[in-house]
Structure 1
């Protein structure tokens, strides 16, 4: 999936946390949470040379390249999410949960791609949720449709909380 798709998925994850934590959407905390979600969503692609995150976090990306970390392996694994879960505990609770859920949204939606994800890294096999003929190819019309669906959900979530 492309960076745009992961950013919108991170946005949706952030909005879900905002609702769960009863944070008003029109607040500075919500603004920070949404921004964090949009940045944390595509963060796992720091392992993909040429990606937006690899360019922004070049030193980390270069280190992963030196260590020969392949795309959709370590940074997309449950083990890595658990490590992030532990090392981000000092964050304020709202931002902690936004970061973890937005980051976890990345490998979750990559499971819809035909290439799958090494979710149980260091085990070598890849996991995907859909058979190849239904899988969403990166940059395809299917991914564009998925982006629009996520965008619709991201608009519906805050609008659904308005009480008339």
Structure 2
């Protein structure tokens, strides 16, 4: 999947955390969480040469290249996510969960690609969720449709919180 798809998935993940933690959509905390979600959703591609995250986090990307870490292996694995959780523990709960869930959205949607992900790294077993003929190729029309569905969800999520409140106000029940 492309960076923009992962970024939108991270945004949606952040919105879900905001709802779960009952954080107002329009607040500084929400703005920070949404930005963190957008960035965290793309972070796993630090292992891919030429990606934005590889350029931004060049020292980490260079180290991964020296260690010969393949794309969609270590940084997309459950083991790495567990280590990331341990490392992120000092973060405030809202940002911890936003970071972890948005990061996890990356390998999750990469499981829809025909190449899959080495979720059980260091085992070189590529796991995917869809049969090859149904998989979503990177940069394909299918990915564009998937991204637009994520964008639609990102708009629906905050409005789903507002509609019940408006209904209550219209009926006159404070």
The total of aligned residue pairs comes to 164
1:72 aligned residue: 72
1:130 aligned residue: 130
Runs of 4+ in 1 over 2 A off after TM superposition: none
CA distance in 2, matches of 1:55, 1:84: 20
1:98 is displaced (CA, Å) by 0.1
Could you give the per-residue CA deviations for residues 43-100 of structure 1, whole angstroms, max 9, x where no partner exists?
A: 0000000001101111110010000000000000000000011110000000000000
**Which runs of no fewer than 5 residues in structure 2 stay unpaired?**
167-174
TM-score, normalised to structure 1, is 0.99
**Which runs of no fewer than 5 residues in structure 1 stay unpaired?**
none
TM-score, normalised to structure 2, is 0.94
1:126 is displaced (CA, Å) by 0.5
2:13 aligned residue: 13
Higher RCO (CA-CA < 8 Å; seq separation 6+): 1
CA distance in 2, matches of 1:32, 1:87: 19
**What secondary structure does 2:133 align onto?**
coil
| Structure number with larger C-alpha Rg | 2
Spell out the pairing of 1:1-164 with structure 2 (5 A cutoff): 1-162=1-162, 163-164=165-166
CA distance in 2, matches of 1:27, 1:125: 43
**What secondary structure does 2:134 align onto?**
coil
CA distance in 2, matches of 1:34, 1:91: 15
CA distance in 2, matches of 1:93, 1:135: 35
1:14 is displaced (CA, Å) by 0.2
CA distance in 1, matches of 2:69, 2:123: 14
CA distance in 2, matches of 1:140, 1:62: 29
CA distance in 2, matches of 1:60, 1:132: 32
